[in-house]
Structure formats: structure tokens, C-alpha cells
């Protein structure tokens, strides 16, 4: 096991020494939330936006925020190296309860855990990946970044077992929501489109950055629902996340997307996104 330093409940200690109780509600129920924050050259990327999403997730599960934004910044910055591309994983659970009971405990201190890892460039980021569509079988609070990810895991595993990098999820009305671990974009009739924010999707920070870049660079875009059939006829499909950034899909449901290569809108957006990252260092 890598003996790196992590943060747990007010202490920095080696990962091998970080322990939680088996009575922690995160372990017993998945009763907690998490956040993933990229960092470039020792600087947390879009820290305030990630904190806003963290606060919204905590509020939605009725768990008080254990720290102020200033405290979070100090805690997380201590874990970073001054160079390289990294990401912070942080998790907050409802804490340790005296007994296993579905109801909230009357008194429990939240368990706070954070660690830093290197971002490994995703294989396929430049050449593109395969994806398949699957029925969205998750719960109705997908905008909460909850640790209860079993449905996402099972959907993603189905995709992996069919040689695909991601599962594109489709709701009961036939509209695309997001990937099992990503947001989705499509270029349809020359317009960059992504589903609007709702309880059906996680409000991705990278998603928002892409929309800002599109607006600043006069790239036509819209936030609107995407029917599965429309996605199948798109000239480009992208998957986005904090650690993978922008991944072009070159094959969807066993059919090539356009000519089966990353498209020109993705080429332009990826260049602009990388330039934006560099501007922050």
C-alpha cells in the first residue's frame, strides 16, 4: 500500500494508519457525500464552484458542513504537491452512531476524509473511446454527489464488459441524462448541446467550464434535452469529468460517430480548455 499522507478527522497521517469505525454510517449505509477537485501546479481548480456543489450535496442529505470554505482550502492545500496534475478526493459521512438504525443519530460527529492522487492521463483522450446506451436505473437525486454509487458501478461495469469506456444513460422518456461517471455533450447540426441541470444529472464543474469557454469563443451551444435517436445521429459526442476532462466518443452503440475520429469542435474545445488550464498556473 502506498504510504502517502491523508487527512482524517483533523489529523494528517499515513494512508496505512487511517482507520474508521465499522459503525460509521458511511460504511453501513453509504450515508455521505464526496467531491473530486482537480489541482494543477499546486492550485485547486475551480475551488469555489466545487465547494458550492459540496455544500449543496450536504444540504440535500441534511448534513451540516463541518468546515468553512477557508478551512476546507487550508485542509486540502496541505495535501497538494507544488507541481504536476493531481486531484483531491474528499468524503464526508454522517459519522459513527451507537447503533445501526436507519434514522439519523441524535448526536454524531461527521467523518471527514481527504486524500490527494496524481491525475493519470486517460487512455483514449486524444483518440476517442467507445460508449453504449443503457437504461438509467439510478435514484432520483442524481444531482447529489452521494457515496451510494452502486447503480453507477453496475452500469459502468456493463459498459466495460462490452469493450466500452462508458455507459450513456437514458431515462424512461428516451432522453439522455449523463454517463455513469461523466456528463455528456453532443454536436448536432453544428450546435454544441448538453442536457440542462436537473435532479437527473450531476452538475459537473468541467461541464460548466466548457459552456463558459463556448460562450467566450462564440461556439454555438444550448442546454436542452437530447433524445437517444438524436444522439445517435450527432456529428460529435463527448464525455466530461474533472479527472478525464473532455473525452471524444468515436463509437456509440456499435456504430461510428461521424467518420470515427475526434471531430473539429472537440479539437477546438480541447485546445481552448488546455489553454485555460495553463492560464491559471
Provide the annotated active-site residues.
Answer: 145
With contact defined as beta carbons under 8 Å apart, do 177 and 169 qualify? yes
- DSSP 8-state symbol, 197: P
CA 101-104-110 angle, to 5 degrees, is 110
Phi, psi for residue 268 in degrees, rounded to 5: -70, -45
φ, ψ (nearest 5 deg) of residue 20 = -125, 160
Q: What is the DSSP letter of 97?
A: -
* Angle at the Cα of 212 from the Cα atoms of 211 and 215, rounded to 5 degrees: 85
49: left (phi over 0), alpha (psi -120 to 50) or beta: alpha
Q: Is 197:203 a contact under the CB 8 Å cutoff?
A: yes
The CB density around residue 208, as the number of other CB atoms within 10 Å, is 17
User: Could you tell me whether strands 191-194 and 221-223 are parallel, antiparallel, or unpaired per DSSP bridges?
Assistant: parallel
Q: How far apart are the first and last CA of the chain?
A: 31
Grid coordinates in use for 204? 459537473
Strand order in the sheet with 11-14: 11-14, 5-8, 111-118, 85-93, 32-40, 43-44
Amino acid at each position: 500500500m502506498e504510504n502517502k499522507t491523508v487527512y482524517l478527522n483533523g489529523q494528517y497521517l499515513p494512508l496505512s494508519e487511517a482507520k474508521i469505525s465499522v459503525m460509521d454510517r458511511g460504511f453501513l449505509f453509504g450515508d455521505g457525500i464526496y467531491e473530486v477537485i482537480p489541482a494543477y501546479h499546486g492550485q485547486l481548480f475551480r475551488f469555489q464552484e466545487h465547494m458550492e456543489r459540496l455544500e449543496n450535496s450536504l444540504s440535500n442529505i441534511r448534513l451540516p458542513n463541518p468546515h468553512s470554505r477557508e478551512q476546507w482550502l487550508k485542509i486540502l492545500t496541505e495535501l497538494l504537491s507544488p507541481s504536476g496534475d493531481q486531484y483531491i478526493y474528499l468524503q464526508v459521512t454522517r459519522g459513527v452512531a451507537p447503533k445501526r438504525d436507519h434514522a439519523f443519530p441524535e448526536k454524531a460527529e461527521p467523518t471527514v476524509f481527504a486524500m490527494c492522487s496524481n491525475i493519470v492521463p486517460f487512455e483514449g483522450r486524444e483518440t476517442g473511446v467507445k460508449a453504449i446506451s443503457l437504461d438509467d436505473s439510478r435514484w432520483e437525486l442524481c444531482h447529489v454527489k452521494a457515496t451510494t454509487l452502486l447503480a453507477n458501478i453496475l452500469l459502468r461495469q456493463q459498459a466495460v464488459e462490452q469493450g466500452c469506456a462508458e455507459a450513456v444513460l437514458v431515462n424512461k422518456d428516451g432522453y439522455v441524462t449523463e454517463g455513469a461517471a461523466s456528463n455528456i455533450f453532443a454536436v448536432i447540426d453544428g450546435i454544441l448541446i448538453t442536457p440542462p441541470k436537473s435532479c437527473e444529472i450531476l452538475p459537473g464543474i468541467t461541464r460548466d467550464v466548457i459552456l463558459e469557454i463556448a460562450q467566450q469563443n462564440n461556439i454555438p451551444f444550448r442546454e436542452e434535452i437530447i433524445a437517444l435517436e438524436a444522439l445517435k445521429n450527432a456529428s460529435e459526442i463527448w464525455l466530461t469529468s474533472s479527472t478525464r476532462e473532455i473525452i471524444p466518443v468515436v463509437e456509440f452503440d456499435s456504430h461510428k460517430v461521424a467518420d470515427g475520429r475526434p471531430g473539429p469542435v472537440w479539437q477546438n474545445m480541447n485546445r481552448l480548455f488546455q489553454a485555460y488550464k495553463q492560464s491559471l498556473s
